[in-house]
Amino acid sequence: MTKSYKTKNFFEGLRFSCVDAIKNNKKKFVLTFVLVLVAMFTGVFVAIKSNNANSLGQLQEIDLSGFYNGFVASSGAFVSRSLSLFVNVALLVVLSLSKLFFPLAEVLLVYRGYLFGLNFTLVLIFYGIGGIITAVVVVLPLQLLSLFVLIAFFILLSKCNCDCRRYGRGDCNRTVLVVGTLLLLLVLNLLETTLLVLLNGKVVLVI
């Protein structure tokens, strides 16, 4: 009973911290989402306008030959995406330490948004109707959710660090926040990989 009560209190506290962080950082949230959306549409535009699909491989850190080999449906792709997510979380942890690093964090999140838009469109270009199902059912919701988690994580961690500098303590446990975010992103990654395997997805999305 006591353990269950503590667990409930923990999640209630985490929810309160998230809501409070959003309320106190509305401008940052709006700015970040707008920039990420612009970057996503830029990626879509670049993919559509490119006349040579192979040249797109030079615009992103992805081997397009993997499209034809179903690389994303393999354990190697899961590991690669997991490593990418780990690096992104680590970078956001460092960038959350000072307000001066906020523009750099925006660049990172915007770049991920650009890669998402580029990859999402490539799925449609390479696979037509089959690509639409994969892109809309799997890639779109899970990648958007991952992006949202990263944005919310950075804003919340920045607030916690700011509170610690100002008051000597924050409303949330930063270690738990970092570990929890990593676990959530890994679960989303695993879910995406599993669905792509079930749908025989042949998509490279290592961002």
Going by pLDDT thresholds of 50, 70 and 90, the confidence category of residue 4 is low
Give the dihedral sign, CA 190/194/195/196: positive
pLDDT for res 9: 54
| 169 Ramachandran zone, left/alpha/beta (phi>0; psi -120 to 50) | beta
Residue 173 or residue 206, greater confidence: 173
**66-124 tens-digit pLDDT:** 444 555 445 667 788 888 899 999 999 999 888 889 899 999 999 999 988 887 887 77
Going by pLDDT thresholds of 50, 70 and 90, the confidence category of residue 62 is very low
Q: What is the DSSP letter of 58?
A: G
pLDDT for res 168: 65
Give the least confident one: 30-44, 45-59, 114-128: 45-59
